[in-house]
Amino acid sequence: MLKSPAGVRTGQVEVPLIDLTAQLATIRDAVDEAITRVVESQRFVLGRPVEELEERIADLVGVGHAVGCASGTDALLLPLRLLGEGGAGDVVVPAFTFFATAGAVHNAGLRPVFCDVSEDTFNVTAETVDEAWTTDTVGVIPVHLFGQMAPVEEITARARERGAWVLEDAAQAIGTVREHGGRTLRAGGVGDAGAFSFFPTKNLGAFGEGGIVTTDDASLAGRLREYRIHGGIQMYRHDVVGTNSRLHTLQAAVLLAKLPWLEQWNEARARNAQRYLDGLAGLPDVVLPTTLPGNRHIYNQFTLRVTNRDGLRRHLDEHGVGSGVYYPVPLHLQPCFRDRGHREGDFPVSERLSETVLSLPIFPELTGEQIDTVIHRIREFHGAA
Ligand SMILES: *Cc1c(COP(=O)(O)O)cnc(C)c1O
């Protein structure tokens, strides 16, 4: 029997939904050293580690600029404030995503307009975005949900024809790509800007909060740098009213120490996913996640669609297997967006997904035995063990 890091119950392999202590063992020395260097410098705000991380992330995404900020939510909010230029307007966002995508639009003084998603990929398509388009639409936020890209090149081409901008929500998609039309498109590098999160459970996680905005637009990057320090690069001169949203130097140092591992972690997630795909094939009540041709999938989540989702979740829980529901309520039915006047049935795919999705443990350090345990429990629940 495996002695899993989360602890042992007799006769049972425990499989937590996520276990960050397993990753810590890999990176401990490098991270300890990086933290010590920042502590000894006593320079905790911006500085060289932040600049270096910005350069590395810009390279990874294939754009000219990256600007660190306090969280993934701020990596959406800050460019929205600047792209929206303080004015009003509608921004098309998926109904099926993490709340921050729409919350940031609202907090930037813009109006989130919801669209449905594809049942196969969980992502928006050019068609679902088109259906939601209003005469007041000024921008779109395609989300690269769970670790594979939405068809952002098509969405961006259509948006530009209409004079609108595109902000990619790439919080769950750091390092992923899409081969399309003979080109390699990188998450966060196709639209006007991309937003990434370093929340600990993302594929590249900090020891706390952090985020970064990517863009090829030098003027937008400059304005973001100004905006994150109260709208003034020069001390005590404020050209615009900004805010305080900086990436902590300690977090940048931790992220720099972890970055060399990102590619291996993303590959390990994909290997784990393949083991699930093989082991769970052919179950009549389980729909496995699909990857679009040309897409790389880095599985921030491995998400099934299951008829009796809540029953399966209980069964897994009773047998020491963690799982998660991302996301149980589509955004158009959230109480805070009541004034949009939506009702059940408006976005049927998003609603069906919220009732059927179940995410399984997929973190890179999972063992084969742990994955096989999860597979066994799911097959057992469906009478196919
Ligand atoms: C995590 C996440 C965010 C927000 O990131 P934070 O760092 O938690 O603020 C935004 N959008 C999506 C899709 C996310 O998964």
Q: pLDDT tens-digit profile of 85-108?
A: 767 899 999 999 999 999 999 999
The answer to whether residue 347 scores a pLDDT higher than 50 is: yes
* Calpha distance 378→277 (Å, rounded): 12
Q: From residue 37, how far is each of 32, 42, 82, 208 by CA, in Å?
A: 9, 9, 35, 18
Say if ligand 1 is within 6 A of residue 272 CB: no
CB 149 within 8 A of CB 161: no
Ligand 1 atom at minimal distance to the Cα of residue 143: 13
Does pLDDT of 40 surpass 60?
yes
Work out the average pLDDT over 18-34. Answer: 95
Of 69, 73, 117, 326, the residue with max ligand 1 atoms within 8 A of its CB, to mutate for a pocket test, comes to 73
Q: Which of 323, 381, 373, 380 is nearest to 4 (CA)?
A: 373
Q: Tens digit of pLDDT for each residue in 126-137?
A: 999 999 999 999
* Token code pair at residue 172: 């769950």
Residue 86: predicted pLDDT: 66
**Spacing, Cα 23 to ligand 1 middle (Å):** 21
* DSSP result, 311-370: HHHHHHHHTTB--B-S-SS-GGGSGGGGGG---TTSSHHHHHHHHHEEEEP--TT--HHH
Atom of ligand 1 nearest to the CA of 202: 1
What does DSSP say about strands 302-306 and 286-287: parallel, antiparallel, or unpaired? antiparallel
| DSSP code, position 197 | E
Q: Has residue 7 got a pLDDT over 80?
A: no
Per-residue HEC secondary structure of 10-24 comes to: CCECCECCCCHHHHH
